[in-house]
Amino acid sequence: MQSWSICISSIQVIFVMMSLVYRILCAKLSMNSGLRNLQGIILSLLVMLAPFQWKWKRKLSKWWGC
């Protein structure tokens, strides 16, 4: 059962990394107003992926009982 919890934590790590990348891009893009729409695209992607993270965790825990 421990391998499944490693699997779930690796998914969490991926999302944490994505949010960190977004924050770094946010800080850089706020200096450059010409790339504001790219910031909006990244934000919308993260908003779209957020529910999937929750669904994956729920499905993984349901299927593998971790």
What distances in angstroms separate CA 51 from CA 30, 48, 55, 58, one per listed residue? 26, 7, 6, 11
CB atoms within 10 A of CB 64: 13
Q: Quick: pLDDT tens for 15-62.
A: 888 887 877 777 776 666 556 677 777 777 777 777 766 666 677 666
Domain range spanning residue 25?
2-60
Evaluate whether residue 66 is within a structural domain: no
- The number of folded domains in the chain is 1
For the whole model, what pTM was predicted? Answer: 0.36
Evaluate whether residue 51 is within a structural domain: yes
Evaluate whether residue 65 is within a structural domain: no
Evaluate whether residue 28 is within a structural domain: yes
